[in-house]
Amino acid sequence: MEARPGPSAAVTALRGVLPFLVGAFASLLLHFVVAPASGPFATKLVMDAGINVILAVSLNLVNGFTGQFSIGHAGFMAVGGYTAGLVTYYGSMLLWGSPAAHGGFLGGGELLFLAACLAGAAVAALAGLLVGLPSLRLRGDYLAIVTLGFGEILRVLLQRTGDVLPTAAEVRRTPLPELATHVGGALGFTGIPFYTSPFWVGIFVTVMLVVAYRLKSGSHGRSFLAIREDEVAAEAMGIPTTRVKVTAFVLSALFAGLAGGLFAHLVGTTLNPRELGFQKSFDVVIMVVLGGMGSISGAAIAAVILTLLPELLRSFSEYRMILYAALLVVVMIVRPQGLLGLGEIWDVWRPRRKGTGR
């Protein structure tokens, strides 16, 4: 059955892109109206929260939907962030002679930034494929070890990279592939232009949410869920479980890479190996577990709350991790599926869950 021409096809096509349009509109609103009115501190928090939403929802594709367990999400974020940072920093140097932000809203600089984020996502997805292929053939807990190892190795490798090249002349003299080794080592990749804005965060959050939701309500996402529920039965229903698991994992790494791109270009953060270590991975895990394994809105809400909470509890910062860890253990014992489980926040008001479908 191919698409019939005529009004109905146009309407369907519109429906297909409508959420993206709404998201774009909301992002513009956020960028030009809400953010200027609420000041830089609140704006930064909103952007932090948005990045965490992308991280949590993307990790949920693996840990929640597919029932596998990755604890190296920050590693993919780092891959994306460093790749994107390389593109914008050295790209700006080569194009405009300086790493400073170039052009205005949707100007040349922002387009370079967009390309950088997409490149970061692509490289992160590739890394996901490399990590996922050997480990996803096996049972879930091996993935945990391999992803953890991946994150740690990445940290070690990044710490051993060379200094960022500070002048355009030096950049021109250095062969392109060698530039990839000049990302600042343990001190971090400084000097990346600050392109990340409420608009871009809004756009990427929209894409993440729409993708996750559509996935969950379609046959691809149902295959993810079936694997989480019972791998043997899923395989017996004709689902190529390894391939589906790898797909979920790669998709999840892709969005982590995207979040890394946003993170790399955010005011007030430095991309450094320590920042994107196990601790960060764990922060994301706890967002997923608290929000609900398989709940998109749950993960998103948990991400927002856990971004804001440390700001409110600044004086308790040394107890934060203890609190999180204890919370994790207690949640697992008392409410193992997380707060919302597989359901979504709007299901809470419905008498009965209406499938996972539309």
Residues 191-220 that bind other proteins (CB under 8 A): 210-211, 214-215, 218-220
CB nearer other proteins, residue 76 or residue 324: 324
Query: Of 312, 333, 346, 349, which lies in the binding site for other proteins, with binding defined by CB under 8 A?
Result: 333
Residue 227: closest CA among 216, 235, 219: 235
CB nearer other proteins, residue 257 or residue 277: 277
Query: Of 42, 106, 267, 322, which lies in the binding site for other proteins, with binding defined by CB under 8 A?
Result: 322
Integer Cα distance of 313 and 237 in angstroms:
49
Residues in region 146-175 near other proteins by CB under 8 A: 146, 148-150, 152-153, 156-157, 160
Query: Of 107, 134, 162, 268, which lies in the binding site for other proteins, with binding defined by CB under 8 A?
Result: 134
Binding of other proteins by 328 (CB under 8 A): yes
Tokens of residue 160, six digits: 């051993």
Binding of other proteins by 258 (CB under 8 A): no
Q: Interacting stretch for other proteins, rule CB under 8 A, among 38-46, 76-84, 183-191, 223-231?
A: 223-231
Integer Cα distance of 84 and 353 in angstroms:
41
**Polymer length of the chain:** 358
Binding of other proteins by 5 (CB under 8 A): no
Q: What residues form DSSP beta bridges with 189?
A: 271
Query: Of 6, 104, 314, 352, which lies in the binding site for other proteins, with binding defined by CB under 8 A?
Result: 352
Binding of other proteins by 233 (CB under 8 A): yes
Q: How far apart are the first and last CA of the chain?
A: 21
Integer Cα distance of 17 and 222 in angstroms:
22
Residue 159 has a CB neighbour count (10 Å cut-off) of 15
Binding of other proteins by 144 (CB under 8 A): yes
Integer Cα distance of 84 and 89 in angstroms:
8
